[in-house]
């Protein structure tokens, strides 16, 4: 295996990436991104910004999308564990409205490539989680739209234990249903 294992999913363009970690008694080292290796793996993206967040158990961020300035995101969890999800909202896509999800954790070191045109979100499964992501365009706050994390049109199967309280931002509590977004396009 090379430095990265690129795992295609059921949705074209959505990729799970497993970096190779080199460990010994002192810890480990790994590359999380290398432009030429990613290009050889079919991912040729010019990332322009890195972001990082910390959230506590039950925090659910999403589902978010930039309409006119869409972003490709390369996401990973560097501490704790999250369930990360993307929904295909690319017009004309054969998988329009379908979702993919993956557990990302400090332990499994996996990354998730979320292409332009996808709504994105995650829920924190551990006590705390630090989440990092690269994007290929800058954030435009007036361009963001969002959908409820549990919108029935998506049917996302979140692995949320019965005793976990979901914590949403004020913004995420008031998103219109996806059906309204579809009507107003």
User: In this structure, is residue 27 part of a structural domain?
Assistant: no
- For residue 93, is it within any domain? yes
**CB 103, CB 11: distance < 8 Å:** no
Q: What whole-number distance in Å separates Cα of residue 25 and Cα of residue 142?
A: 48
**Residue 102: inside a domain:** yes
For residues 47 and 134, the answer to whether their CB atoms sit within 8 Å is yes
- Supply the Cα-derived Rg of the chain in whole angstroms: 16
Query: Which pLDDT score is estimated for 182?
Result: 72
The residues carrying an active-site annotation are 64, 133
Q: What is the pLDDT along the chain (185 residues), one digit of tens a residue?
A: 579 999 999 999 999 999 999 999 999 999 999 999 999 999 999 999 999 999 999 999 999 999 999 999 999 999 999 999 999 999 999 999 999 999 999 999 999 999 999 999 999 999 999 999 999 999 998 999 999 999 999 999 999 999 999 999 999 999 988 888 776 66
CB atoms under 10 Å from CB of 181, counted, come to 19
Whether 174 maps to a domain, the answer reads yes
Distance CA 169, CA 149 (A): 12
Residue 2 lies in a domain: no
Structure token pair of residue 169: 């931002």
Domain span at residue 160 reads: 45-183
CATH code, domain carrying 111: 2.60.120.10
Q: Write down the pLDDT at residue 168.
A: 97
């Amino acid at each position: 295996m090379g430095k990265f294992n690129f795992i295609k999913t059921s949705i074209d363009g959505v990729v799970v990436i497993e970096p190779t970690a080199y460990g010994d008694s002192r810890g480990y080292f790994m590359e999380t991104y290398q432009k030429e290796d990613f290009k050889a793996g079919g991912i040729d993206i010019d990332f322009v910004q890195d972001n990082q967040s910390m959230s506590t158990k039950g925090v659910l961020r999403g589902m978010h999308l930039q309409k006119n300035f869409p972003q490709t995101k390369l996401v990973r969890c560097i501490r704790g564990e999250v369930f990360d999800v993307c929904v295909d909202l690319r017009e004309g896509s054969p998988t329009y409205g379908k979702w993919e999800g993956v557990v990302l954790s400090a332990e499994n070191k996996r990354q998730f490539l979320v292409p332009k045109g996808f709504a994105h979100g995650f829920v924190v499964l551990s006590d705390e989680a630090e989440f990092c992501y690269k994007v290929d365009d800058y954030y435009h706050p007036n361009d963001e739209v969002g959908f409820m994390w549990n919108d029935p049109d998506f049917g996302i199967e979140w692995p949320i234990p019965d005793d976990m309280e979901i914590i949403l931002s004020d913004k995420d509590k008031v998103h219109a249903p996806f059906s309204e977004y579809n009507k107003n396009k």
